[in-house]
């Protein structure tokens, strides 16, 4: 079964807007687990505009499901991850001023750098996923580098889904088949939602994990977090 990891960055954004601890990020993460989420994802950025490095340290000993930390492997991030030792780290090539993730790694051009980072994290027993566009050569290189998984950047799929679902999914089906041929795991994330997730999963049922934040938290404003998680899980079962 494909696992659902809830990205809680947006909850931290709301908290930070007023200071203090409302909403309580740790309680929210634990509630997500209680309501059925099989993982919690955070993406701490250098400016700590949403999830803070201190949040990551506070969450780690309290979570019972898989903990996934996303980010650009700058020295400060590498130090955080190797100290916290989550189940998984997802390497994302974010610029410091990026509003959100907007591209996958060029694993060919950055092969030497990524290989060293992957080796370092794996020495600490951390599963490593590399965020990539649905381009076969990028996936093959990620496997050669030694990554355990790739995470497909699904923004293009989500953007074109309404106009033509079959056309939108085709590059991702091909990419997913390449990942399977290479013998590495497969994650997916970015702009997946209740509108497009079930179709994505139907066409690529061997996805190991989807990481969803913005759409899921937005849906929770109307449905409540418990019902929202249940609906997302249903998309991954049907």
Q: Which residues are catalytic?
A: 43, 70, 190
Question: How many CA atoms, within 13 angstroms, populate the side-chain half-sphere of residue 141?
Answer: 20
Bridge partner residues of 6 (DSSP): 40, 212
Compute the distance between CA of residue 26 and CA of residue 12 in angstroms, rounded to an integer. Answer: 10
Cβ(97)–Cβ(84) below 8 Å: no
Coil, helix or strand at residue 69: strand
> Which of 80, 88, 164 has its CA nearest to residue 131?
88
Contacting residues for 212 by C-beta, under 8 A, at least 6 apart: 4, 5, 6, 7, 189, 192, 193, 197, 232
């Amino acid at each position: 079964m494909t696992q659902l990891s809830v990205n809680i960055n947006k909850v931290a954004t709301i908290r930070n807007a007023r200071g203090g601890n409302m909403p309580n990020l740790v309680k929210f993460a634990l509630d997500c687990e209680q309501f059925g989420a099989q993982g919690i994802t955070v993406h701490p950025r250098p400016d700590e505009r949403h999830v803070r490095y201190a949040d990551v340290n506070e969450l780690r000993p309290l979570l019972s499901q898989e903990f996934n930390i996303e980010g650009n492997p700058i020295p400060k991030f590498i130090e955080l991850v190797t100290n916290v030792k989550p189940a998984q780290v997802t390497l994302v090539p974010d610029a410091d001023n990026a509003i959100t993730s907007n591209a996958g790694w060029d694993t060919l051009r950055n092969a030497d750098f990524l290989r060293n980072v992957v080796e370092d994290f794996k020495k600490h027993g951390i599963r490593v996923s590399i965020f990539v566009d649905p381009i076969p050569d990028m996936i093959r290189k990620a496997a050669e580098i030694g990554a355990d998984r790739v995470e497909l950047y699904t923004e293009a799929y989500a953007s074109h889904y309404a106009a033509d679902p079959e056309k939108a999914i085709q590059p991702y089906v091909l990419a997913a088949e390449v990942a399977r041929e290479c013998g590495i795991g497969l994650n997916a994330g970015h702009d997946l939602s209740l509108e497009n997730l079930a179709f994505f999963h139907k066409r690529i049922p061997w996805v190991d994990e989807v990481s969803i934040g913005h759409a899921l938290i937005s849906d929770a404003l109307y449905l409540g977090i418990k019902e929202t998680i249940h609906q997302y899980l249903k998309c991954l079962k049907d």
